[in-house]
Amino acid sequence: MMIETLLAVTFAGALVTFLAPNRIAGKLAFAISLIPAGLSLWLFTAFDGSGNALLEGGELAWENQATWISLGAYDISWYVGLDGISLPLVVLTTILTTLAIVSSWTPIDMRESQFYGLVLFIEANLIGVFVALDFFMWFIFWEAVLIPMYLLIGVWGGPRRKYAAIKFFIYTNVASLLMFGAFMVLVFSLEVTSFALPEIAQAMVNGGPESFAGVAGSTIASLVFVAMFIGFAVKVPVVPFHTWLPDAHVEAPTPASVLLAGVLLKMGTYALLRFNFTMFPDQLEVYAIPIAAIAVISVIYGAMLALAQTDLKRIVAYSSVSSMGYVILGLIAFTHFGVGGATFQMVSHGLISGLMFMAVGVIYNATHTRMVTDMSGMADRMPIAVGILIAGAFGYMGLPLMSGFAAEYFIFFGAFGSDMLMYAPAFTALAMFGIVIVAGYLLFAMQRTLFGPYRLETDYEVGRAPLHDVAPMFVLLGLIIALGVAPELIFEMILDSVDPILDLGGDA
């Protein structure tokens, strides 16, 4: 019942915060968010699962299944559990939410109780996405995440917030529709009696879909694979479905950006791993080259776009596109290190991009501008915040002993030796060039904004950032370094859950 407690506490916390007076909402939300954070850390230490949640031999931690609704021939159940892939993401979610709440104390100055309530509501739904093992339950959480995020962007956002919020909502919602429809077709063409994901995965392993409505089973599998891939690809996002991301990030308030880049994007890759890359090993082989090409294009093209930006937030937003391309590359490599590294990158990128958005937010709080051209020499006025920003930027560039390097190295190593992907070394080499471009745009941006003689185009007095602005960044930096020095902290658990997937794919 631990997972239920976690969810219930978070939902209740959201409600309490909603009703609290604005004056205390920030502190209250922080205090409340410590409970799920602590709880998830406890789950992390007490984790006793093994194997993959969806596949045979998987021992779930805190598994709980109860039939919820019987829908004709299909049962919808309340089904939760954690394995080595979802647990790190749950911990990431709770920690990042707590830190995002602290980082919003400075910038958020209206409708506080609603703001913090929505943040906690997002957290609850994100946890739900990662723990749910029944498709319907999972889908409800998946869609419910969009609503508070839509409101966060649309109410507390920047000047073009309405455009960004609507674009974000409709784009990802249409993608969800595509994915939902495809999955329904899949379920109806399989011999299953419930929407429980393990059962569906098992049915896919035992031969896949039968013909349905006059279409051959293998065709259905291919169509469903492609439709679901596109559905999740929008969420990730990969090129060419990425254009909602920079708009959403630029307009979103800092904490929303942190959660958006830190966790929401990982929903897409998590779902890809859970659905496409677990259930469709045969299709993977067919589509390996196009998917790898998309991954490489995302990496290089995303990085090139970041190079052209002059808005700090846009730079980080586009670099997220680039970083998520690595995840796709790792997944399609379909080796232990590739898929494990991709999962590791989800966590690592969540921490690093969260840190970067916070750091940019702290600078914005002081200067009220994010344009590279508007400032220089910020290191002179805000040494600590800038120091952390530099550390974060090097984390983004994949500096060893920080988690980004571990993730990228695992992915590259896994991808280079991939059996499934033809020309794997060439794809790896191309994607790796991203590490040069990322260094290029971050170093250029840092040189212009942080160094040189102090100059600021806006009329604000810039002083050192308050402690509660920098403290969350220190926590993140600590986690990034801890995972960089000892990736085994979570990598062992991840590999344990990833291995069964690869055994299916006939990876020798």
Partner 1 sequence: METAFELAPAIVLLPLAAFVVALLVGEYMPKKGALAGIAATAGSLLLSLYVVAAVATGGEHQETYFTWAAGDAFSETGESAIEFTFGILLDPLSALMLVIVSLIAFLVHVFSLGYMNDEGETGLRRYYAELGLFTFSMLAFVVADNLLMAFMFFELVGLCSYLLIGFWFRTESAPSAAKKAFLVTRFGDYFFLLGVVAIGATFGTLAFQGDNSFVAAASDAIEGGEPLFGFEPRTWVTITGLLVLGGVIGKSAQFPLHTWLPDAMEGPTTVSALIHAATMVAAGVYLVARMFGYYALSPTALAIIALVGGFTALFAATMGVVKDDIKQVLAYSTISQYGYMMLGLGVGGYVAGVFHLMNHAFFKALLFLGAGAVIVLMHHEQNMWKMGGLKDKAPVTYYTFLAGALALAGIVPFSGFWSKDEILFDAILVGLNEPIFLVAYAMGLLAVFFTGFYTFRMVFLTFHGEPRSEAARDPHPVGWNIKFPLLTLGVLALVAGVANLAPVYKLTGLEITYLEFWLDGQYGGYADLTYTAYGDTVPFGTEYIAGSETITLLIAAGLGLGLAVAGAIFAMVLYNVPEPEPHTENLGSARTVLRSNYYQDEYQVWIAENLSLPLARTADRFDQSVIDGVVNGVSSVSLFGSSRMKRLQTGVVTNYAALMIVGFIALLLVLGVLGGWFV
Which residues of this chain interact with partner 1, rule CB under 8 A? 167, 170-171, 239-240, 242-244, 301, 304-305, 307-309, 335-337, 340, 377, 379-380, 394, 397, 399-401, 405-406, 409-410, 412-414, 416-417, 419, 425, 428-429, 432-433, 435-437, 439-440, 443-444, 446-447, 450-454, 486-488, 491, 495, 499, 507-508
CB 264 within 8 A of CB 357: no
324/349 Cα distance (integer angstroms): 8
141 versus 150: smaller Cβ distance to partner 1: 150
Name the minimum Å distance from CB 77 to partner 1.
34
444 versus 460: smaller Cβ distance to partner 1: 444
405/381 Cα distance (integer angstroms): 30
320/229 Cα distance (integer angstroms): 19
How does DSSP assign 83-114, residue by residue? -TTHHHHHHHHHHHHHHHHHHTTTT--SSHHH
223/214 Cα distance (integer angstroms): 14
433 versus 460: smaller Cβ distance to partner 1: 433
78 versus 413: smaller Cβ distance to partner 1: 413
271/77 Cα distance (integer angstroms): 19
239/49 Cα distance (integer angstroms): 35
Name the minimum Å distance from CB 179 to partner 1.
18
Name the minimum Å distance from CB 411 to partner 1.
10
A 10 A CB-CB count for 295 gives: 29
115 versus 396: smaller Cβ distance to partner 1: 396
314/441 Cα distance (integer angstroms): 12
216 versus 443: smaller Cβ distance to partner 1: 443
Q: Is 467 exposed, middle or buried (0-12, 13-18, 19+ CB in 10 A)?
A: exposed
The amino acid that residue 65 corresponds to is Q
10/16 Cα distance (integer angstroms): 10
63 versus 419: smaller Cβ distance to partner 1: 419
105 versus 491: smaller Cβ distance to partner 1: 491
DSSP letter at 466? P
Name the minimum Å distance from CB 130 to partner 1.
23
Name the minimum Å distance from CB 241 to partner 1.
9
264/169 Cα distance (integer angstroms): 13
Residue 461, helix vs strand vs coil? coil
15 versus 307: smaller Cβ distance to partner 1: 307
163/244 Cα distance (integer angstroms): 10
Residue 194, helix vs strand vs coil? strand
123 versus 499: smaller Cβ distance to partner 1: 499
Which two three-digit tokens encode residue 365? 């709080």
CB 411 within 8 A of CB 494: no
Length in residues, the chain: 508
Name the minimum Å distance from CB 129 to partner 1.
25
Name the minimum Å distance from CB 405 to partner 1.
7
Name the minimum Å distance from CB 21 to partner 1.
39
Name the minimum Å distance from CB 259 to partner 1.
23
Name the minimum Å distance from CB 439 to partner 1.
5
